[in-house]
Amino acid sequence: MPTSPYAVPVHSTEMTPSMVRSRARIVGSGAAFLILSPFVARLLALADLIPVGASVICALTGGLVGFLLLQVLCEETGLVRCSMSRVTARTLTGVRSVDLTRIRGVRLHTSVSRGGRASHTVVVRDSNGVRIGLTSVRSQRALVRALQRTNADVHGGPHVSLAARAHLGLGDRWHRTLHTAITLLLQVISICLYLSLVLKLAGS
């Protein structure tokens, strides 16, 4: 069946590396503003422009949403294509494509899922500066094969954190366990300090 000359190709939604970085900066700036919104609200309250308790509301809504956005900014929400040389996936900021033949760094990102359990995402960055947080088994297997081909252990190869190696089955599992415990503890402490500071400002 002949195709229309006006048909949009499948790859048309994929963004260039510069577009990815630009959109990530915009969304990241928005997330940072949400995190800082309680302090902005406090300044407005001092000027009698909004109620004093508005900073607490901003912290419980905008602040927590901002923290969440920063964590899932580049996370894979749907796998578009996956091959030995490239992974293309949908993310919060659009469709991203990372070059598995030009990997520069791999790290493990840990957060708390909706069920209260630890959730792990493997964040891979290529030489173009594009990052994707791989969540699917298929994309992570493609990454493992790419790391095995590029000899990530040798000098000059991509930097892969010990926790990421452990999660991908390339290292000792206790590295991931230690990483998970420390990361979750730091996240809980950070959120508690953030909320306590906002409450202190609201009560002053």
Q: What is the DSSP string of 95-123?
A: EEEEETTSEEEEEEEEEE-TTSSEEEEEE
Question: Residues 194, 182: one domain?
Answer: no
Question: Residues 182, 104: one domain?
Answer: yes
pLDDT value, residue 11 = 47
Question: Residues 43, 99: one domain?
Answer: no
- Number of neighbours of residue 19 by Cβ within 10 angstroms: 15
Question: Residues 181, 193: one domain?
Answer: no
pLDDT value, residue 5 = 41
Q: How many domains would you assign to the chain?
A: 2
Q: Is 89 exposed, middle or buried (0-12, 13-18, 19+ CB in 10 A)?
A: buried
Does residue 6 belong to any structural domain of this protein?
no
Can you tell me the distance from the alpha carbon of 154 to that of 187, in angstroms, rounded to the nearest whole number? 33
pLDDT value, residue 156 = 65
pLDDT value, residue 82 = 93
- With contact defined as beta carbons under 8 Å apart, do 131 and 122 qualify? no
Question: Residues 67, 104: one domain?
Answer: no
Domain enclosing residue 171, as ranges: 78-187
CATH number at residue 151: 2.30.29
Does residue 162 belong to any structural domain of this protein?
yes
Does residue 8 belong to any structural domain of this protein?
no
Does residue 9 belong to any structural domain of this protein?
no
Question: Residues 171, 92: one domain?
Answer: yes
- What is this structure's pTM? 0.78
Question: Residues 51, 90: one domain?
Answer: no
pLDDT value, residue 139 = 95
Q: Residue-wise pLDDT tens for the chain (204 aa)?
A: 444 343 334 444 566 777 777 777 888 888 888 888 888 888 887 777 777 777 778 777 888 888 888 888 889 999 999 998 999 999 988 889 999 999 999 999 998 776 667 889 999 999 988 999 999 999 999 999 999 887 655 566 789 999 999 999 999 999 999 999 999 999 889 888 888 888 887 666
Question: Residues 182, 90: one domain?
Answer: yes
